[in-house]
Structure 1
């Protein structure tokens, strides 16, 4: 097995929305805001090479939306999904599996692209199986008013129409051991229904792909929950469980949205579980 961090691009979101009820005077210490109160965020994905399989976890925002849409999110930097794959010698056609933690636009937008004539859409990864789960899929295609702006039909419906969609079975305890993709999965429901968090063992270390349970290192304290979460009290329970597990087992978190930190560990303090150390992939795995 080999792992590769894939930088698909950077964007900005309102700091108040990202931290909910936590005052700006506190959250800006870890996530400083610009003059528009926007904080810098990454859209960092992960590529897993296992034998002949190339599994991409999430796809970033993509490039098919119009200028007005992108203007809301202040895209910045020079990263792209295609350039990041090319850095490791891969193309989109090499991807065999696309694992979508959930179907919000900043996680699945790159899964679908315009066709050549821009008359319709097609999978950006023509040789890949796309993995979701049935509960989250139904949640996304019949969106609630709170999440409707994040579930864009052009990102979602063409996946099923392509015939490349498969669903992962959800166990009763919301933890799937040894999924069809070769890693374990936590199913969490606070941010959105049945978000999937991969748990990957690599070079004798365990990495939890934090997705939107812990968007950045600044979200590690239990009350620091995004205003986007549909069930914030459930997020608190899920964060507490997974943070305590990671602390006790010395697991690493892979941060999808932290613009400065790729990996981190946590420790127990008098104030609860807090950030311990941060690392780049290169520092830990030498790649």
Structure 2
């Protein structure tokens, strides 16, 4: 098995929205904001190369939205999904499986592209099975008013229309092994309904792909919960349940959204769970 970080692009979001009720005087120490009060974020995906199987975890925003749409997120840097795949030695047609942690646009936008003449949409990974779970699919395709702007039909419905949509079996526990994908999945419902955090066993260690359970290293304290979470009071015990595994077993946390701390681990302290070390991608993958 080999793991490859696939950088799908960098963007910015409002720091206050990213930290909810936490005052700026606290969060700006770890996540400094620009003059627009926006903080740096990444769309860092993970590619699992395992025999003849290539599983891509999340896909970033993609490139099919309007200039106005992308203007809200102040894209920065040179990273792009297809170029990152090429840098790793692969093409979109090589991907056999696309695992979507959840269906918010910054996680699944790259899963669907414009067709050749831009009259419609088609799946980006034509030979891949696209994996989500039935409960989250229902949640995303019949969105509540709060999340409606994050669940875009053009990112989601073409997957089913192409016949490439697959559902992972319903979990029987919070951390469940997926026979379909070959790794464990931690399920969380505070950010959105039935978000999935894959936990991959790799070279004697466990690597968790954090999605939006832990957006950045600055969010480690339990009350540091995003304003985007639909059930913030549920996020806190879910983070604690995850930390119980991650600290005890010294998991490496692959940070999808932290632009400056790509992989971290955690430790118990007198103040609760806190950052232990930051690793370069090359140190762990």
**Normalised-by-shorter TM-score class:** over 0.9
Q: Contact 1:11–1:42 at 8 Å: present in 2 too?
A: yes
Aligned equivalents of 1:40 and 1:56: distance in 2? 23
- Per-residue CA deviations over 1:165-202 (Å, capped at 9, x if unaligned) read 00001223233214311101111100000000001010
Aligned equivalents of 1:237 and 1:179: distance in 2? 27
1:46 aligns with 2:34: no
Deviation at 1:28, TM superposition (A): 0.4
**What RMSD in Å do the two structures reach over aligned CA positions?**
0.8
Q: Contact 1:266–1:277 at 8 Å: present in 2 too?
A: yes
Equivalent position of 2:193 in the other structure: 193
Aligned equivalents of 1:98 and 1:280: distance in 2? 25
Equivalent position of 2:264 in the other structure: 264
In structure 2, the CA distance between the partners of 1:174 and 1:247, relative to structure 1 (3 Å rule), is closer
Equivalent position of 1:130 in the other structure: 130
Equivalent position of 1:13 in the other structure: 13
Equivalent position of 2:240 in the other structure: 240
Deviation at 1:117, TM superposition (A): 1.0
Q: Contact 1:244–1:273 at 8 Å: present in 2 too?
A: no
TM-score w.r.t. structure 2 length? 0.99
Aligned equivalents of 2:279 and 2:226: distance in 1? 24
SS of the residue aligned with 1:47?
strand
Structure 2, unaligned stretches of length 5 or more? none
Number of residue pairs matched by the alignment: 285
TM-score w.r.t. structure 1 length? 0.98
SS of the residue aligned with 1:163?
coil
In the TM superposition, 1:153-168 aligns within 5 A as 153-168=153-168
Q: Contact 1:104–1:150 at 8 Å: present in 2 too?
A: yes
Deviating runs (4+, > 4 A) in structure 1?
Answer: none
In the TM superposition, 1:162-177 aligns within 5 A as 162-177=162-177
- Per-residue CA deviations over 1:28-58 (Å, capped at 9, x if unaligned) read 0000000000000000000000110000000
- Per-residue CA deviations over 1:186-232 (Å, capped at 9, x if unaligned) read 11100000000001010101011111000111111100000000001
Structure 1, unaligned stretches of length 5 or more? none
Q: Contact 2:105–2:151 at 8 Å: present in 1 too?
A: yes
